[in-house]
Structure 1
Amino acid sequence: MSQTNDIIDALDARVQRREERRDFFKSAFGAVAVATAGAATLGFATRAGAQTVTDADVLNFALNLEYLEAQFYSFAAFGVGLASGNLTGTGTQGVVTGGRQVNFSDPLVAQYAREIAQDEAAHVQFLRTALGTSAVAQPAINISGDANGAFTAAARAAGVVGSTGTFDPYSSDENFLLGAYIFEDVGVTAYKGASPLITNKTFLEAAAGILAVEAYHAAIVRTTLFAKGIQTPALITATTQISDARDSLDGGTDLDQGLTNASTVSSTNPYGTITTTGLATAQTVGASNIVPLDANGIAYSRTTGQVLNIVYLTKAAATMGGFFPNGVNGTIRTSTAQA
């Protein structure tokens, strides 16, 4: 137990150092970002059509996603949502449905949840500061795990629970990690896909920094799930099902991978599979696939339309649904019609 406490103390110290760096980053870039918000325009094409958007439009799209992640993690880690002063802005401000504190049994998972929650809340504050009066308000968000909740709808679509079952991400450490898994990979691909649309260097640097943090978060979630999945292979199976469901929503291209990848297993690799022990029946899990990459070792990208397909939980061209029951705020708000 002393080793666990040492790890937690080290993580707490790292959080303090990160907050000090974050304050410096805000003061250094915030004023410049406010002054340049909306100054540049570019052509932005999707299969649904073409539109012209500003850098501020792209960052507001990201802000909607950060509201979603920040609220989920804040409730799971601390039992409360974001402060009301961080929810105002242009567009219709909505409320959060669902969300509660997880009674964590693993102190490391609890620490990860608190750390990620603080990061996501900081992303919301940073983007709101950068956008100034152009920042969109938090839209209505559904993070409920009840029968009509967005998490349950996502889990049913993935086959993680049956058609009459529910999925509550706040009921256990494992369910919390699976709930986080639904978001984290999407956030990484969203920032990577949006970054080429940003013309202002200050905004681009900020977006690159947030992308890196989201990638760290995804790696924490994926690594922890894989480690727990060695003893409980159903967790790893669930990640494959969730990844397949995301792929089915965002089009025919394979942009997602679970925690194991058969293509990474070599017949000459003695570590290609792991046999679990201590179970009634021996089971194996495939080689780890902590970092989902293409054949060139590069992370995947999603268009804004594809990201909205996933968070709206639809293959259709839509302006609302799923985790955003009334849609997102801002100019970019329509998902892409998928075949």
Structure 2
Amino acid sequence: MDQTPIEPSPGKNRRSALLLGGAALAGLALTRSAFAQSTVSDSDILNFALNLEFLEGQFYTLATTGMTLDQAGISTKSGSGTAGGTVSVKTSPMVPFTTPLLQQFAAEVAMDEQNHVKFLQSALGSSAVAQPNIDLMASFNTLAQAAGLGSAFDPFASETNFLLGAFIFEDVGVTAYQGAATLLSSKTYLDKAIGIHNVEAYHAASIRTRIFQAGTAAQSASQAIAAARASLDGTGNDDIGVSVGSGGAATIVDNDANAMTYARTTAQVLKIVYGGGSSGGVFFPNGLNGTIK
């Protein structure tokens, strides 16, 4: 795999990135039927979240330690003991960090995501699903091509690439928890979901700030990624990349015209993590485990 950090043209503005992302995605199958079940249980929602936390936990643990969750002592089994799925990743995925503060931040995020996995497993007990198969190789190449950033992207190759890989996950996680919160009936679970949502928002803001500080090339790449996500979920307008706005203000905070967090339905989140597939693809090649998939 080409491990050269992506360096998009610094001259691209947000409008050109949106157009590029939309054009690149035009050939993908974007149709997916809405989640058909009229009612879902709290366990269904928590297991949906657990699938996403497995993805984030694997990415950050591999990036900071070179180990999978299982190798780091975090179980990926179901509550009933079914073994977790495989993780496809490059050999020696630990990011070659050169900035100690960024490495320390990445280690903190890895620990947070591991704790999210463990908390959800504990809350679900025997109902917790096993980790599905996860792809952290071809998935990034597919999304990079869809966003118009080239045919290959290695999020483990450099600090900037790591930030862009993390950018893909964290913003989606924030919108997923925002959208799923209204489906929970238990106030206890709602309180915990909001707590996780807030931590994911801290992560996203920190990552977006570092992308902003990294300069125009990283900002342009984030705009293309945001455009691709918005195209995949079918809205085309619920995602903002990092840039300097027309009035000179930064767009570090990904929010709507009312300065509120965007929310995504479970079906919209699946469209992104499946890359437009109907039953799996990209990060989850065989789909999620559980009822919502």
Same fold (TM over 0.5): yes
One-letter code aligned to 2:234: G
The answer for the alignment partner of 1:123 in structure 2 is 116
> Offset of 1:47 from its aligned partner?
3.4
- Looking at structure 1, the residues matched to 103 and 264 of structure 2 have their Cα atoms a distance apart, in angstroms, of 30
- Looking at structure 2, the residues matched to 48 and 120 of structure 1 have their Cα atoms a distance apart, in angstroms, of 26
- Looking at structure 2, the residues matched to 85 and 294 of structure 1 have their Cα atoms a distance apart, in angstroms, of 36
Match runs of 1:195-234 below 5 Å: 195-229=181-215, 233-234=216-217
Deviations 1:235-255 (A, max 9, x none): 110000000000110013511
Structure number with the bigger relative contact order (C-alpha 8 A, sep ≥ 6) is: 2
**Structure 1 pair 213–53 and aligned structure 2 pair: CA distance change class (3 A):** same
The answer for the alignment partner of 2:107 in structure 1 is 114
Deviations 1:260-312 (A, max 9, x none): 263xx33xxxxx1xxxxxxxxxxxxxx31111111111100000000010000
Indicate yes or no: 2:52 matched with 1:59.
no
One-letter code aligned to 1:138: Q
Q: Is the 8 A contact 1:92 1:329 kept in 2?
A: no
- Flag structure 1 segments of 5+ consecutive residues without an equivalent: 1-45, 267-271, 273-286, 334-339
- Looking at structure 1, the residues matched to 64 and 203 of structure 2 have their Cα atoms a distance apart, in angstroms, of 15
One-letter code aligned to 1:81: T
Match runs of 1:1-339 below 5 Å: 47-83=34-70, 86-89=75-78, 93-98=84-89, 100-144=93-137, 149-161=138-150, 165-229=151-215, 233-260=216-243, 262=245, 265-266=246-247, 272=248, 287-314=249-276, 318-333=278-293
> Offset of 1:168 from its aligned partner?
0.5
- Flag structure 2 segments of 5+ consecutive residues without an equivalent: 1-32
- Looking at structure 1, the residues matched to 83 and 184 of structure 2 have their Cα atoms a distance apart, in angstroms, of 25
> Offset of 1:48 from its aligned partner?
4.8
Structure (1 or 2) with the greater strand fraction: 1
* Equivalent position SS for 1:52: coil
**Structure 1 pair 115–292 and aligned structure 2 pair: CA distance change class (3 A):** same
* Equivalent position SS for 1:81: coil
* Equivalent position SS for 1:53: coil
TM-score under structure 1 length normalisation: 0.73
One-letter code aligned to 1:321: G
One-letter code aligned to 1:183: F
One-letter code aligned to 1:158: A
The answer for the alignment partner of 1:281 in structure 2 is none
Count of aligned residue pairs for this structure pair: 255
| Larger-Rg structure | 1
